[in-house]
């Protein structure tokens, strides 16, 4: 019978020291850029060395200016909510939808569709004069 391997503190220290000397990947691969100029990088997970999660980060166009805008698709990729990075077509399609909504909002306001101010505390949804809140009953 072979004896069970004992846990030696010195063996663990030496093993950890040797593993710390092994070369690691510090530079990520460029995954993509967005229309703000941010660059996105990733180091994939490697379970064989104990790295279970991907490392993802971005670099802004102006160094040390991390208070910049970022498309929602890229932010969800950075936070690990989506597995694959967004395509440029997907981001541009959502930008076009966003611009269309802004334009529609400007047109509604130009026609006089002003929002009514809140009269009592917090309301769950804004009310407009031109729409009925109860079917068949006009708002006054």
Tens of pLDDT, residue by residue over 9-50, are 888 888 888 877 776 656 788 999 998 889 999 988 877 767
Average pLDDT for the chain: 80
Q: CB count, 10 Å around CB of 31?
A: 16
User: What pTM does this model have?
Assistant: 0.57
Instruction: State residue 41's pLDDT score.
Output: 93
Q: Is 80 left (phi over 0), alpha (psi -120 to 50) or beta?
A: left
43-52: long-range contacts at Cβ-Cβ below 8 A with a sequence spacing of 24 or more?
none
Give the residue-averaged pLDDT of 82-98: 91
| CA atoms 26, 30, 31, 35: torsion sign | positive
Rounded to whole angstroms, the Cα distance separating 103 from 7 reads 68
Place of tokens 């070369």: 23
């Amino acid at each position: 019978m072979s004896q069970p391997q004992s846990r030696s503190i010195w063996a663990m220290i030496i093993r950890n020291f040797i593993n710390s000397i092994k070369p690691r990947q510090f530079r990520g691969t460029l995954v993509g850029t967005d229309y703000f100029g941010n660059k996105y990088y990733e180091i994939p997970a490697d379970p064989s060395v104990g790295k279970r999660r991907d490392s993802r980060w971005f670099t802004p166009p102006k160094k040390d200016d991390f208070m910049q805008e970022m498309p929602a698709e890229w932010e969800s990729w950075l936070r690990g909510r989506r597995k694959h990075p967004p395509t440029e077509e997907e981001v541009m399609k959502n930008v076009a939808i966003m611009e269309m909504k802004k334009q529609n909002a400007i047109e509604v306001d130009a026609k006089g569709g002003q929002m009514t101010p809140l009269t009592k505390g917090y309301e769950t949804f804004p009310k407009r004069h031109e729409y009925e809140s109860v079917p068949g009953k006009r708002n006054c």
